[in-house]
Structure 1
């Protein structure tokens, strides 16, 4: 799993995001496939003007990229799970490499607390999930929670002041 390339960060404080930027972000959040012409029409700007705004948001690191949202169940991965992973002493880097190399792990975070990793994995069956989790057990303690349902998709944080 490769990380998206992040441009050098320019400080882009939340108070610098004006109503137009917020409207652009909300529109792209709803449909990232909008053309610059359609986005411009939607918010009342020319395509070149809105394109410049989007470029500025990308340069500032606010927009890191555009992504694809795939329903893993439609691909046959009926099981979705969150796995907390606590490496044994001196195994942190080895476990992180193992997480990165496990194709069923579709996302992971380094977190605070006793378990430094939280991984989201997919599997076609409970048996496959068990096999994936077992690969970590030689080097770490794991705790697995199967996701029964997701109430909503990822959304933008509040873009306007309190």
Structure 2
């Protein structure tokens, strides 16, 4: 395990972190452009990116879609407090519902916090009703999002 940590640590040197920062900003940037930004040739960048992918540090490349453009303008968080015996059912239901964009098992009073995207506030009621048999729910509707860093990881 120590050898793996050392290998990953070598990949995450200053240049590796710069490559990750550039890719987080724009994953469609050409290898030549990334090379210019970090001071490497295109083949060297390609090799580094390949190693970062193989190590599981880069998990994939995705389009970031505007939820409002897709008719999902209401964002909310559903907190669910439940018993451990219901955890598998909660995880399965959350995975099956397209309105649930993230489900976090958390410490504290609530057991789970789920991020939700729906078209209108009225769409929250049947969604919450799906979780109510599994425990106590509390829902918070997002009024605005002054900071949204997407899925970026602090480097």
TM-score over 0.5 (shorter chain): yes
Instruction: State whether residues 27 and 39 of structure 1, in contact with CA within 8 Å, keep that contact through their aligned partners in structure 2.
Output: yes
> What 5-or-longer segments of structure 2 have no aligned partner?
none
Between the aligned partners of 1:156 and 1:100, the Cα distance in structure 2 is 23
The higher relative CO (CA closer than 8 Å, separation ≥ 6) is in 1
The question of 1:153 aligning with 2:149 is answered: yes
> Counterpart of 2:118?
123
> What 5-or-longer segments of structure 1 have no aligned partner?
1-9
Instruction: State whether residues 99 and 105 of structure 1, in contact with CA within 8 Å, keep that contact through their aligned partners in structure 2.
Output: yes
The question of 1:26 aligning with 2:48 is answered: no
> Counterpart of 1:51?
46
Q: What is the RMSD of the two structures over their aligned residues, measured on CA atoms? A: 1.8
Between the aligned partners of 1:152 and 1:93, the Cα distance in structure 2 is 30
Question: How big is each residue's C-alpha offset from its partner over 1:114-149, in whole Å with a ceiling of 9 and x where there is no partner?
Answer: 322111111111111111111111122111111122
> Counterpart of 1:101?
96
